[in-house]
A and B are shown apart, each in its own frame.
Chain A
């Protein structure tokens, strides 16, 4: 397994190079004017600045030169200092966010990671549990209810369901606010006395001994998690259910029952582990999807995650930010796929990573 992991890690830079060349190439299909359009905040008042911008950032240089500058940066015409260069950890400056892309990712990704960590259990485990229950009670009331539940969940647009939750639990009942944290606590965590050990608010709150802030952060995540869960449960339920049904029909399950094992042992010890292979794949994609940001959920609940920032950059043709997010997402995708591959081996001993 170690060889497998090392080999996969060695492939990471090659894959990232491929990703960057493809995305950079696509961006280069836009003209220099189109790629610098974002510098015009107040058309037509400062539109005359475009030629200067194009010259300053070399937007009409040949493709390979621009790619090279993106990789290693370029000297500022006045100060001579290096500006940009992803190899130096400088992803450039996002015009939509008016701040460096790295700062934007550093600001947003911890929020997304925080949400993902707390959402994984309800999204995946509950979904799996529901699927198992539906399979076990095949054609029973629970199965029928779960199937209706899953159809509604699949067909409910996230946008509508999210707004519904918001109007009910926030505007009407005043239980759960949108955003990341209440204003009072946002102020507290920005004070020097609050240490940011992990940049994940829930964990930092606990490490700082501020249980009230922890609870506040969780409260703000309830509606996004509920929305994500409901939309995702349907998928998990259906995949788990069909996989479980197939497994429960296997001969070794009949054998286990014939041996007089308890039904719970048959289901949870013998059948469920083998039914989990397609679910692990699905869970891997789900986690990757959560880590890449969930645009609609973030937007509806005003949750400052990475998805909404990336979507906004893409819609606005913020070339620098799009490239930065693509690189970052590519990295997440590669690492998460690696983890999923390793999990296969753990879940199913028949899979050998060689």
Chain B
């Protein structure tokens, strides 16, 4: 018994000691996915002898999660899905090594661009096979792009194709259908009104006319408008009486008919279901639209993308020249699918009469969410959501079989477990939270540093031959956070916005148009302490952003005018504000209180808010910014309701192009500009510049155009681009051959091998 007691006591003490040594990080630490940190890698050193790869044919990736949304390349828009798609499907062209904006042939051997910049002809590589053995044809390529455009939907990345093919501002095929529906409905109104006898026009005649018009609209637009219900409302009854009385004053028959047409179209537009532009994402109504219009739209798409199977070419004709067209087709949404395979798996058959049944599909209803049949170097052999997926080498790959035979991506949510896997050598790469980098740094024996000037990594340097890991440092990212202001904060007297305090400028709140004041925006911009953010959150591994365009793209200038931390200028800008408090005092004397929101768990966003709040309080103790974390779902709901006064607005680029940055933040159709309530005259100015910039194909000329956008963004202090955190990624040293490109959605395994 004594012996047992002693053994147990020793065990307990040892456990306590080990526990103290190995305190794990909490699960809430911010996650940095290291595989997105990118480099061209040329390590030449052999791995440390202490740990050798157990299996050189299999690469194991311990990720915090491996759930994907969908394997349908036309629908996938998340990084996790893109990572698999990139390895199992191929695109016409691909990135040239680590270059984000240079491309090399892949499925296309070559391509030509017409002098007007609108027509692209791709000559396809012969003999390419899909994983099921089907030969890839030009028809498959054309079909894949046609399918994407017609499938569209806001959940998809197809807006990147919709604009070049349908015209600037058209972000979904629904916009094209809606425009045609509107035109057809207008013509129907003309026809019906033309038949009206204005000499006998009364309320009864109006009722018949509107009923006929609504019936015609329902048949054309697919939406059911209840004419009797619409006509029966009191305001509409009054409007009809007013119209009938007003007709007497009209000077002639044409004027009378114009009034009648305006009346019926306005009444229809205000009725339930009377708005054909609501078609976006409406899968119920799209199939009910007039078949002639649907066929017309499909034929338009098919004429724009034409295959010549005999010649092995595909020709794409754009609505206008499009500067970033090649970057757009190099991403996963430009992947080529097997038309025959898609049709045989309950997908679109390629007919212009059936596409509407597949419009706006979401991943839960998409038959291609969990299966693949690409031409890529790997095949997906198993997929268990939230657990792991396995890719196996495709021996028939047209560029030659990959060196790695198997890729296993495992979901390992707990950092301590991932760390143990890396330590044991069972994982070749792992997702490392920023807070835990120091644990990994202790195991680094080889360091690769990015040379910003050269745009490439310097040769890697061995720092300790006995340590197992390699670290990549210093490459700029493709994602950035921006502080966005809400120029038109929603606030209803019946349900006041809790985030703007009293809703008045009385020292205890702000008015809904507080951030419409240029000086206030400038003051906030000057008050942001970039260095503290860089040092506290990113441990010095970040640089201040100077504008929306990132290094390496047209429109990026190191000397772009930008705001820097300056408390004196911050104070001056507040003092220059013409906003007056409720008692007639200046903003400076009155002060304000506002809440800055972030989504719970996002420690970076929380720290950003704390930094800003701290600076503002230093400038004037009457400036109070309260920080509030909301669960993601509630945060999203508050954003959608335009309730959040000031927010962190992050973006990860789809393509390395300034249009991809300015469009969301400043254009009339941008995701963030709408949320920020930017005034129409300002978005119109940006729209004009962006339209000019995106339709220009000469990079030098584009740079000059986007310089204007940079200036306008700065002058108006539209937002505050924050910092560019640089890479800090780890690999086992036996992982070789990796091409790291910022635009890859994860690893591109084809070039990789293990030593």
Contacts and interface: CB of A to CB of B under 8 A. Distances in A.
A78 B287 contact: yes
Contact of B1 (A141, A178, A316): A141
A304 B387 contact: yes
Contact of B634 (A34, A149, A300, A308): A34
A48 interface: yes
A46 B5 contact: no
Contacts of A207: none
A43 interface: yes
Contacts of B384: 107, 304
A159 interface: yes
Majority DSSP secondary structure for residues of B touching A:
mixed
A282 B77 CA distance: 48
A117 interface: no
Contacts of B631: 317
A22 interface: no
B283 A96 contact: no
Interface in B399-415: 406, 408, 410-414
A51 B411 CA distance: 31
Interface string B632-668: 1110110011000000010100100000000010000
A170 interface: yes
Interface in B160-188: none
A308 B565 CA distance: 44
Nearest to A32: B637
Interface in B11-65: 12, 15, 18-19, 22, 24, 27, 58, 60
Contacts of B426: 177
A51 B702 CA distance: 36
Contacts of B423: 171
Contacts of A347: none
B522 interface: no
A98 B287 contact: no
Contact of B24 (A44, A48, A51, A163): A163
A266 B470 CA distance: 66
Given A34-B634, A41-B69, A145-B1, A77 B640 contact: no
Interface string A286-308: 00000000000001111010001
Interface size class of B (residues with CB under 8 A): 35 or more
Contact of B155 (A46, A186, A302): A46
Contacts of A302: 410-414, 417
A170 B420 contact: yes
A300 B77 contact: no
Contacts of A283: none
Given A42-B77, A78-B283, A163-B22, A190 B633 contact: no
Contacts of A39: 155, 362
Interface string A71-85: 000001111000100
Contacts of A37: 632-633, 636-637
Interface stretch (B363-371, B606-614, B693-701, B727-735): B363-371
B671 A141 contact: no
A250 interface: no
Contact of A49 (B12, B154, B420): B154
Contacts of B412: 178, 302
A171 B157 contact: no
B485 to A, nearest CB: 16
A352 B500 CA distance: 64
Interface stretch (A52-60, A192-200, A209-217, A252-260): A52-60
Interface in A127-174: 137, 140-142, 144-145, 148-149, 152, 156, 159-161, 163-164, 166-168, 170-171, 174
A281 to B, nearest CB: 28
A190 B389 CA distance: 12
B281 interface: yes
15 contacts: A33-B637, A44-B651, A48-B281, A49-B362, A52-B280, A78-B283, A141-B2, A141-B4, A145-B1, A152-B15, A177-B424, A183-B408, A301-B417, A302-B412, A302-B413
Given A42-B79, A48-B671, 15 more contacts: A33-B633, A35-B633, A48-B281, A49-B153, A77-B287, A99-B370, A145-B8, A145-B9, A148-B9, A164-B19, A178-B421, A183-B58, A183-B406, A304-B386, A316-B632
